[in-house]
């Protein structure tokens, strides 16, 4: 029997994502001026206010208020009528030094013996149903909102958009797990009050989303995926009515509250740990990236069409406590999932410092992860500039999304005799 599966995404202007981006901007600045920084910072945003909290161990000092304001303005909260603006909001910093009780389990005499920053289990997932090995419903949801943000910044085709938005895509699958068609698309976007007649205003928004946004999204997709768009799609555009009050004024935002949006949209599994604001000694983040790296390379190498990789840790302990693999019955090699897991443990060093080194995680690479998903993006090398009244100006060339590189495929093929 055919079934439906749904994933959602949220925009860079969603309150929780505003908080994530501020937390990761702080992390990037700490790592830019002191790569050995240990950082766990949280952000709360609400009407006219930003609260920064958390623990930091670093040799550098930052103007955290200014960094937060720059992020907010870049997202697009620049107008007083939003009741939340980078230029006028209050910024309160409650950041303090990291607990020595935690630090003693992480820092060791040898970096190779660095312990895990916490206990827990982390998951990585990959599927062959898209070119970037991500679940299709989530990939389309991200593209809808990323494209909506592009249209907002262009301010040409649709001129009333505000930064806050959410999207949701439901796909109909066959009994053999093949996508058949897109069943439902939901888009809720914040907007100016550009017409006194609410019905006319909502009709205009719905028409623009369907006739302007969706064709631009569709054009970015492979031909086979474009065929999933038909005339029977059910559209719910701003289904509750007008959406003028939004962003941190409409809903308080917190770092780490969109962990499913950040990963696989409900496919695979999630260990529960958030990413943003955490340096790579926190395995919630680094091991989740490492597990994705392993899963993506395994699928790309032809080990299976769909793979979930779990890795777990004890705080302060170097070696992971377990590595688990689930191929959902899609394995193309004559090995059990347990046997595949043993090979994964041999191919991928999952010790915390080894992950940091392999994926180059002690670099200021995190702000770019904090909206539209941490997984599935294209690896790229860029130059980032950081300026501080206390540390001066530096330029850093960094690799973004190293965990998305297909750099282990040949080694995996050799190990599995593919």
**Predicted confidence (pLDDT) per residue in 143-199, tens digit:** 999 999 999 999 999 999 999 999 999 999 999 999 999 999 999 999 999 999 999
What is the chain's mean pLDDT, rounded? 94
- Residue ending a domain, among 245, 268, 295, is 245
| Residues 155 and 7 both lie in one domain | yes
Q: Answer yes or no: is 81 within a domain.
A: no
Residues 6+ apart with CB under 8 A from 122: 271, 273, 283, 284, 287, 288, 290, 291, 310, 311, 312, 313
- Dist CA 236 CA 148 (whole Å): 16
- At 229 the pLDDT is 97
Tally of CB atoms within 10 A around 94: 11
Q: 285 and 409: one domain?
A: yes
Whether 210 has a pLDDT exceeding 50, the answer reads yes
pLDDT of 263 > 70? The answer is: yes
**Domain residue limits at 226:** 3-11+135-245
The whole-angstrom separation of Cα 270 and Cα 310 is: 9
Q: Is residue 299 part of a domain?
A: yes
Distance CA 52, CA 42 (A): 6
- The answer to which of 99-103, 147-151, 213-217, 268-272 has the lowest mean pLDDT is 99-103
166 annotated ligand binder: yes
Structure tokens at 29: 């600045």
For the residues 338-349, what does the mean pLDDT come to? 97
Among 93-102, 278-287, 296-305, the range scoring the smallest mean pLDDT is 93-102
Query: Cα–Cα distance between 97 and 266 in angstroms, integer?
Result: 35
Whole-angstrom distance, CA of residue 282 vs CA of residue 148: 33
165 and 14 Cβ atoms separated by less than 8 Å: yes
Distance CA 13, CA 74 (A): 10
Mean pLDDT of 226-241: 96
pLDDT of residue 228 exceeding 50: yes
Q: Is residue 95 part of a domain?
A: no
Tokens encoding 16: 């929780």
Summarised one tens digit per residue, pLDDT across range 365-393 is: 999 999 999 999 999 999 999 998 888 99
- Residue 158 within any structural domain of the chain: yes
Spacing of C-alpha 318 from chain mean position: 26
304/356 same-domain check: yes
Confirm whether residue 197 is marked as ligand binding.
Answer: no
In a domain, 321, yes or no: yes
315 CB neighbour count, 10 Å cutoff? 14
d(CA 23, CA 155): 28
32 annotated among ligand-binding-site residues = no
> Which of 404, 285, 297 has the alpha carbon at shortest distance from 347?
297
Q: How far apart are CA 111 and CA 47, in angstroms?
A: 43
* pLDDT number for residue 391: 86
pLDDT for position 107: 56
Which of 219, 245, 271 is a domain's end point?
245
Q: Taking the mean position of all CA atoms in its chain, how far away is CA 36?
A: 23
Q: Supply the pLDDT for residue 112.
A: 63
Q: Any known ligand binding at 16?
A: yes
Question: Does 165 count as an annotated binding residue?
Answer: yes
Closest CA to 30 of 18, 43, 44, 40: 40
Question: Is there a contact between 365 and 400 (Cβ–Cβ < 8 Å)?
Answer: yes
Would you call 397 exposed, middle or buried from its count of C-beta atoms within 10 A (0-12, 13-18, 19+)? exposed
Total count of domains within the chain: 2
User: Are residues 307 and 200 part of one domain?
Assistant: no
The answer on whether 278 is annotated among ligand-binding residues is yes
Task: Report which secondary-structure segment, H or E, holds 213.
Answer: none
Query: 101 falls in which pLDDT band (50, 70, 90)?
Result: very low
Are 286 and 369 in contact by the 8 Å Cβ rule? The answer is no
Rounded CA-CA distance 259/88 in Å is: 29
Q: Rounded to an integer, what distance in angstroms lies between the CA atom of residue 54 and that of residue 40?
A: 6
Is 96 annotated as ligand-binding? no
72 close to 22: Cβ distance less than 8 angstroms: yes
For 244, the enclosing helix (H) or strand (E) is none
Q: What is the pLDDT of residue 97?
A: 77
CA angle 26, 30, 31 (to 5 degrees): 115
**What contacts 387, CB < 8 A, 6 or more positions away?**
393
Contact indicator for 122, 273 with CB cutoff of 8 Å: yes
- pLDDT per residue over 18-44, tens digit each? 999 999 999 999 999 999 999 999 999
Indicate whether 124 and 159 sit together in one domain.
no
- The H or E element containing residue 221 is none
Which CATH number goes with the domain that contains 169? 3.30.300.10
CB contact at 8 A, 37 and 175 = no
Percent of the chain at pLDDT > 70 equals 96
Q: What percent of the chain has pLDDT over 90?
A: 89
- Phi–psi pair at 311, nearest 5 degrees: -130, 140
Supply the pLDDT for residue 340. 98
Residue 405 annotated as part of some ligand binding site: no
412/383 same-domain check: yes
326 belongs to an annotated ligand binding site: no
Tell me: do 311 and 197 sit in the same domain. no
Q: Is 40 annotated as a binding residue?
A: no
In a domain, 20, yes or no: no
> Does 360 show up as a binding residue in the annotation?
no
User: What pLDDT does residue 138 have?
Assistant: 98
Please check if 196 is assigned to a binding site: no
Q: Does 284 belong to an annotated binding site?
A: no
- Would you say residue 108 has pLDDT above 60? no
Examine the domain organization and report whether 401 and 331 are in the same domain: yes
Please tell me whether residues 175 and 317 are part of one structural domain. no
Nearest in space to 274 (alpha carbons), one of 368, 370, 354 = 370
Half-sphere exposure of 83 (CA within 13 A, CB side): 14
Q: Does the annotation place 164 within a ligand binding site? A: yes
- φ, ψ (nearest 5 deg) of residue 118: -165, 165
How far are the Cα atoms of 28, 187, 205 from residue 278, in angstroms, in the given order?
10, 30, 38
The residue whose two tokens read 């925009």 is 11
Is 358 in the same domain as 297? yes
Residue 111: pLDDT band by 50, 70, 90 thresholds?
A: low
Residues 124 and 175 in one domain: no
**257 in a known ligand binding site:** yes
Same domain, 288 and 410: yes
């Amino acid at each position: 029997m055919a079934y439906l599966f749904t994933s959602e995404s949220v925009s860079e202007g969603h309150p929780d994502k505003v908080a994530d981006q501020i937390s990761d901007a702080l992390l990037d600045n700490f790592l830019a001026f002191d790569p050995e920084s240990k950082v766990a910072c949280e952000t709360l945003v609400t009407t006219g206010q930003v609260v920064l909290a958390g623990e930091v161990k670093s040799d550098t000092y930052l103007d955290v208020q200014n960094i937060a304001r720059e992020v907010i303005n870049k997202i697009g909260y620049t107008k007083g009528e939003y009741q939340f603006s980078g230029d006028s909001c209050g910024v309160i910093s409650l950041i303090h030094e990291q607990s020595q009780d935690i630090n003693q389990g992480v820092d060791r005499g040898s970096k190779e013996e660095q312990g895990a920053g916490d206990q827990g289990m982390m998951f990585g997932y990959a599927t062959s149903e898209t070119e970037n090995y991500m679940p299709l419903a989530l990939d389309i949801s991200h593209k809808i909102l990323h494209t909506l943000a592009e249209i907002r910044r262009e301010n040409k085709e649709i001129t009333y958009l505000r930064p806050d938005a959410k999207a949701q895509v439901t796909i109909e699958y066959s009994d053999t797990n093949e996508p058949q068609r897109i069943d439902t698309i939901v888009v809720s976007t914040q907007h100016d009050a550009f017409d006194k007649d609410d019905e006319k205003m909502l009709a205009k928004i719905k028409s623009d989303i369907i006739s302007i946004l969706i064709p631009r999204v569709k054009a970015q997709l492979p031909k086979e995926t474009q065929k999933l768009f038909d005339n029977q799609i059910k559209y719910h555009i701003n289904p509750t009515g007008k959406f003028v009050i939004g962003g941190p004024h409409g809903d308080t935002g917190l770092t780490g509250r969109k962990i499913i949006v950040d990963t696989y949209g409900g496919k695979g599994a999630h260990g529960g740990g958030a990413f943003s604001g955490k340096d790579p000694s926190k395995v919630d983040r680094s091991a989740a990236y490492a597990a994705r790296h392993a899963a993506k390379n395994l699928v790309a190498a032809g080990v299976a069409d769909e793979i979930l990789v779990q890795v777990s840790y004890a705080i302060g302990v170097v070696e992971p406590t377990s590595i688990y693999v689930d191929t959902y019955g899609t394995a193309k090699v004559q090995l059990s999932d347990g046997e595949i897991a043993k090979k994964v443990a041999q191919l991928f060093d999952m010790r915390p410092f080894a992950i940091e080194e392999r994926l180059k995680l002690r670099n200021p690479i995190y702000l770019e992860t904090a909206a539209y998903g941490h997984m599935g993006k294209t690896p790229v090398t860029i130059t980032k500039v950081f300026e501080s009244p206390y540390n001066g100006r530096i330029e850093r060339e960094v690799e973004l999304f190293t965990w998305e590189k297909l750099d282990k495929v040949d080694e995996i093929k050799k190990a599995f005799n593919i």
